[in-house]
Amino acid sequence: MFNTGQLMNPPQKTVISASRRTDIPAFYMPWFMEQIKKGFFEVVNPFNQRVSVVPATPHVVHTIVFWSKNFGPFIDEGFGERLLKQGYYLFFNFTINSDNPILEPNVPPLKERIDQLKHLSQHFGSRSISWRFDPICYYETGQGSLHDNLGDFSAIGEQAAAVGIERCITSFMDYYPKIRKRLSFRPGLVLTDPPLIDKVNTLIEMETRLAALNIHLTTCCEKEVIAALPPGSSISPSSCIPNDLLMELYGGNLALRKDTGQRVKAGCGCKVSVDIGSYRHQPCYHNCLFCYANPNSGKSG
């Protein structure tokens, strides 16, 4: 007799994350495509430095999830179309924050990033994109005045809604030790961590603005803030690697367990994937002041 169970359940495939550790679409797509051509990645574990081989053929990879603040090089060279022709599905985590040269000195102007968002939506579908406004930052300058990076939030939301984006993922800046060291070379600039009630009020205001645009607001690793939200709020924890959505979009069979290598206790909802990037060997040149992946800890950071 035929094993109908096997016929009904296709083999479980892998999701590749490219990458939480650096900006591959902006800086490392030629390298990425070369590894795709080889059929595998050699990945160095950032904690124990062990090297593992990650198969990367369409027979074993379901979706490639790209993370970026600048998809310009990815778009200009037609890398996405080439990957689709080879049999890969694609998903995009696109961080689009307000124009702010203090916090994000090397990202393209907002208009360019909005144009990139439009291109991705037109060529790959709006449901294959999560817009990340991440992180929310508060800071003081030498004059002692308090600033934030929310100035363009509503305008970005309107542009995102116009091309069919349905999800926005956000979080508040985490004050990593590397950031403290970086700020020691920036006298007069202080990144601040607002009280919980201020974070709640900020999210509620963001939720209200996005609800009018039919965009659902979610949070990345903000368990404490989620617990403090008032009844009736629709804000929920995000899954930046959303294997359930990937199966809804593309079919197939993916693991739905949480990725225990991420910050699950902080509220991370990412499903299991394999990240193929490297902090050490693929530095990110956006030089964002708040970023854990920024290699610069000194004056140039």
Mean pLDDT for each 10-residue chunk of the chain (301 residues)?
Answer: 56 97 98 98 89 97 99 99 98 99 96 99 99 97 87 99 99 85 81 96 99 98 97 97 98 94 86 95 94 60 33
- 146 DSSP β-pair partners: 140
Six-digit token pair at 257? 């367990």
pLDDT at 106 (0 to 100): 97
Written in H, E and C, the secondary structure of 33-93 is HHHHHHCEEEEECCCCCCEEEEECCCCCEEEEEEEECCCHHHHHCCHHHHHHHCCCEEEEE
Torsions phi, psi for 86 (to 5 deg): -80, -5
The residue type found at 65 is V
Per-residue buried b or exposed e for 207-238, using 16+ beta carbons within 10 Å of the residue's own CB: bebbeebebebbbbbbeebbeebeeeeebebb
What is the pTM for the complete model shown?
Answer: 0.93
pLDDT at 301 (0 to 100): 33
pLDDT at 298 (0 to 100): 46
pLDDT at 300 (0 to 100): 36
pLDDT at 299 (0 to 100): 42
pLDDT at 1 (0 to 100): 44
Torsions phi, psi for 283 (to 5 deg): -60, 145
Query: What domains does the chain contain, in order, with CATH numbers?
Result: 4-275 (3.80.30)
| Contact status, residue 17 vs residue 246, Cβ threshold 8 Å | no
Other CB atoms within 10 A of residue 14 CB: 17
